[in-house]
Amino acid sequence: MKLLLATNNAHKAQEIREILKDSFTEIVTMRDAGIELDVVEDGATFRENALKKAIETLDYAKDRFDAVLADDSGLCVDALNGAPGVFSARFSGEGHDDAANNSKLIRLLHDVPFEQRTARFCCCVALARREHAPIAVQGEVEGKILFDARGENGFGYDPYFYYEPFGKSFAELSSEEKNSVSHRKRALMLLREALNVEDRDHI
């Protein structure tokens, strides 16, 4: 079964290949396949966006692929009623300005004490298939929002996201440490389990 990834992120693609390699005979990115498509992510939830991206990309790819995997992710802060949520990448306006997004986040939380700055990174992965119903699963990792940035690794909100089990911000973790506990890793593991359950049910 040939799987198309609705991404051109090489690191993300490698992680997906490692986790789902036993479920698909071939896994390629949109760049690998020569496909250019920009799906408008206008859903109210990560699930809606991931499913829309997967389904529209599968339709666009015609019969070249058996399935498409897409994801949508972001940061949800309890003190902000779940914001920035699906607007995480464009929290400060259109575009993907990490510095501006972080600045707005910290400004909105300026008077919130640390114990109340609970948050989680969420990732929903959706698998659209031609012969089966789509699957959508969500992985999450809990943390708190720091007052000041820490670390030089990662991207987005990572410098402000404190992961208590490691006692570090996500930007202080090595790529191996982060990938071992990331919300995307957890979502992909849930997807793999769902596919394994399907396989067992069809035996």
Q: Is the pLDDT of residue 200 over 80?
A: no
125-179 pLDDT tens trace = 999 998 889 999 999 999 999 999 999 988 899 999 999 999 999 999 998 898 8
Residues labelled catalytic: 72
CA angle (56, 194, 63) in 5-degree steps = 35
Confidence of residue 116 (pLDDT cuts 50, 70, 90): very high
Q: What is the pLDDT of residue 203?
A: 52
Q: Residue 153, class by beta-carbon neighbours within 10 Å (0-12 exposed, 13-18 middle, 19+ buried)?
A: middle
Q: Which two tokens stand for residue 159?
A: 């410098």
Q: What is the pLDDT of residue 189?
A: 93
CA distance 56 to 128: 9
Q: Provide the H-helix boundaries in the chain.
A: 10-20, 30-33, 46-60, 98-108, 175-181, 183-201
CA distance 88 to 86: 6
Contacts with 189 (C-beta within 8 Å, 6 or more apart), sequence order: 19, 139
**CATH second-level architecture of 2-201?**
Alpha-Beta Complex (3.90)
Q: What is the pLDDT of residue 42?
A: 92
Average pLDDT over residues 65-80: 96
Q: Is the pLDDT of residue 68 over 70?
A: yes
2-38 pLDDT tens trace = 999 998 887 788 888 988 988 899 999 999 999 999 8
Q: What is the pLDDT of residue 131?
A: 82
41-67 pLDDT tens trace = 899 999 999 999 999 999 999 889 999
Q: In what order do the strands lie in the sheet with 161-163?
A: 26-29, 2-5, 67-77, 118-129, 135-145, 161-163, 168-169
Annotated domain spans of the chain: 2-201
Q: What is the pLDDT of residue 192?
A: 92
Q: What is the pLDDT of residue 201?
A: 66
Q: Residue 192, class by beta-carbon neighbours within 10 Å (0-12 exposed, 13-18 middle, 19+ buried)?
A: middle
